[in-house]
Amino acid sequence: DGGITQSPKYLFRKEGQNVTLSCEQNLNHDAMYWYRQDPGQGLRLIYYSQIVNDFQKGDIAEGYSVSREKKESFPLTVTSAQKNPTAFYLCASSKDSFRHYEQYFGPGTRLTVT
C-alpha cells in the first residue's frame, strides 16, 4: 500500500518539552510538507521540503524545526519555544515541487500539550 504514515495518532506532552512528529512516505515523492490545523483556521504551512537535504520555512515556522535526511522521511520537531503547540498536525507530499497543487496527506497527529 502506497501512502503517507504519521505516528503516533495522538501525542501528549508536558509544557517545556520538545516533541518530534514522524512522517514517512513510500510514494517516491520529492516534495514534503507540514501543516498545522486549528478549528476555523484551515491549513497553515509550517515547513516544506522540495528535495532531500533542503527545506524552507512556511507561514508559521516559529517554534518548529525539521530535517530531510532521507527522501521518504520528514520529521517535525515542536520545540518548547512554540507558544501554542496543541493542534492537529498534517504531513503531505507531492510528486515534485511543480506539482505542489496535488498533495497527498497523511492521517495526522493530534498533539496535546499541558
What is the H or E stretch that residue 57 is in?
A: strand 54-57
The angle at the Cα of 96, spanning 98 to 70, to the nearest 5 degrees, equals: 150
**Residue 50 or 67 having the CB closest to another protein:** 50
Query: With respect to another protein, which residue has the nearer C-beta, 45 or 80?
Result: 45
CB of 77 to another protein, least distance (A): 20
Q: Report the amino acid identity of residue 95.
A: K
How near is the Cβ of 9 to another protein at its closest, in Å?
8
Site of interaction with another protein (CB under 8 A)? 4, 40-43, 45, 48, 50, 58, 90, 92, 97-98, 100-108
Tabulate helix, strand, coil % of the chain (nearest 5).
0, 55, 45
Q: How far is CA 77 from the centre of its chain?
A: 9
Q: How far is the CB of 106 from another protein (least distance, A)?
A: 5
